[in-house]
Structure 1
Amino acid sequence: MEVSRPKVGVGVLVCRGSRVLVGRRRSSSGHGTFALPGGHLEFGESWEGCAAREVQEETGLSIQNIKFASVVNSIMQNENQPSHYVTIFMHAELCNPIDEPQNLEPDKCDGWEWVVWPNIPRPIFQPLQSLIESNYKLP
Structure 2
Amino acid sequence: MAGSSAPVPRVAVVVFVINGKTVLLGRRRSSIGDSTFALPGGHLEFGESFEDCAAREVKEETGLDIKKMEYLTVTNNLFLEEAKPSHYVTIFIRAVLKDPSQVPQNLEPNKCDGWDWFDWNNLPQPLFRPLKAMAESGFNPFPSR
Query: Is the 1:63–1:95 contact (alpha carbons within 8 Å) kept by the matching residues of 2?
Result: yes
In 1, the alpha carbon distance for the partners of 2:75 and 2:121 equals: 16
Which is higher, the Rg of structure 1 or of structure 2? 2
How is 1:1-139 mapped onto 2 (pairs within 5 angstroms)? 3-137=6-140, 138-139=142-143
In 2, the alpha carbon distance for the partners of 1:134 and 1:73 equals: 15
In 1, the alpha carbon distance for the partners of 2:106 and 2:121 equals: 22
In 2, the alpha carbon distance for the partners of 1:109 and 1:53 equals: 16
In 1, the alpha carbon distance for the partners of 2:123 and 2:14 equals: 14
Residues paired across the two proteins, number: 139
Which stretch of the first structure deviates more once superposed, 96-105 or 124-133?
A: 124-133
Query: Is the 1:48–1:66 contact (alpha carbons within 8 Å) kept by the matching residues of 2?
Result: yes
Question: Structure 2: any 5+ residue segments left out of the alignment?
Answer: none
- One-letter identity of the residue aligned with 1:55: V
Question: Structure 1: any 5+ residue segments left out of the alignment?
Answer: none
Q: Percent identity?
A: 56
C-alpha offsets along residues 54-92 of structure 1, whole Å, 9 cap, x if unaligned? 000000000000000111111112222221111111000
TM-score, length basis structure 2:
0.90
After superposing on structure 2, the runs of 4+ consecutive aligned residues of structure 1 that deviate more than 2 Å are none
In 1, the alpha carbon distance for the partners of 2:72 and 2:137 equals: 12
Offset of 1:4 from its aligned partner?
A: 1.1
Offset of 1:118 from its aligned partner?
A: 4.5
Which stretch of the first structure deviates more once superposed, 112-121 or 40-49?
A: 112-121
Residues 17 and 63 of structure 1, relative CA distance in 2, 3 Å threshold: same
In 1, the alpha carbon distance for the partners of 2:116 and 2:19 equals: 11
Query: Is the 1:76–1:126 contact (alpha carbons within 8 Å) kept by the matching residues of 2?
Result: no
